[in-house]
Amino acid sequence: MKTKIISAFPGTGKTYYASNIKRTAKVVDLDTYRYTLGYTDDGKARNKDFPNNYLIAVKKHLGETDILFVGCQPEVITSLRDAGLSFTIVYPERALKDEYVKRYRQRHNHGSFINLLSKNWNFLLDFLEKQENCKHIVLGSGQYIGDIVNSI
């Protein structure tokens, strides 16, 4: 089985798709939180083993699942690339910051998470937009990963 790795922005619907959508493909949402233990106010992962511990988990799922959703933190993207893994990046249009902040509030994300993403919105999108040798999918208003996953 060939595993499609999809590195997707928070709030794009990875968890919802993996746990609620009926499909024939096996899907895993590998949330980074267990591996980062959250982030400090300056955006640093609390777990010193991140992203190496996360990359080990990613590799364990290869060949075991059809679709593997992974985080889109710069450390994750760099680790995937350094490991020679092919992946697709999914992220929102830059103008959708308010829509995504609303999504985070609706799913009851912690205020520190919302503040961190809001504060780093442009930095993260700048980083993702500059990535080469991978497929990019940009979501429009009201779109979720379930709307585009079959095109990957």
Domain residue ranges in the chain: 4-146
Whole-angstrom CA distances from 27 to 30, 39, 64, 138 are: 10, 26, 10, 21
**Number of CB atoms found within 10 A of residue 23's CB:** 13
Q: Is residue 47 within 8 Å of residue 36, measured between CB atoms?
A: yes
Find the farthest-apart pair of alpha carbons in the chain and give their distance in angstroms, rounded.
Answer: 41
Q: Is residue 90 within 8 Å of residue 114, measured between CB atoms?
A: no
Structure tokens that stand for 40 in this block:
């400090």
Average pLDDT over residues 71-96: 96
Q: Is the pLDDT of residue 13 over 90?
A: yes
Average pLDDT over residues 106-123: 91
Average pLDDT over residues 1-26: 89
Query: Tell me, what's the pLDDT at 43?
Result: 66
Q: Is the pLDDT of residue 122 over 90?
A: yes
- Look-up of token digits 């980062």: 36
Q: What are phi and psi of 144, to 5 degrees?
A: -130, 170
Closest CA to 69 of 139, 131, 149: 149
For 46-71, write each residue's pLDDT tens digit.
Answer: 778 889 899 999 999 999 999 999 99
Average pLDDT over residues 24-44: 80
Q: What percent of the chain has pLDDT over 70?
A: 95
Query: Tell me, what's the pLDDT at 20?
Result: 84
Place domain 4-146 in its CATH homologous superfamily: P-loop containing nucleotide triphosphate hydrolases (3.40.50.300)
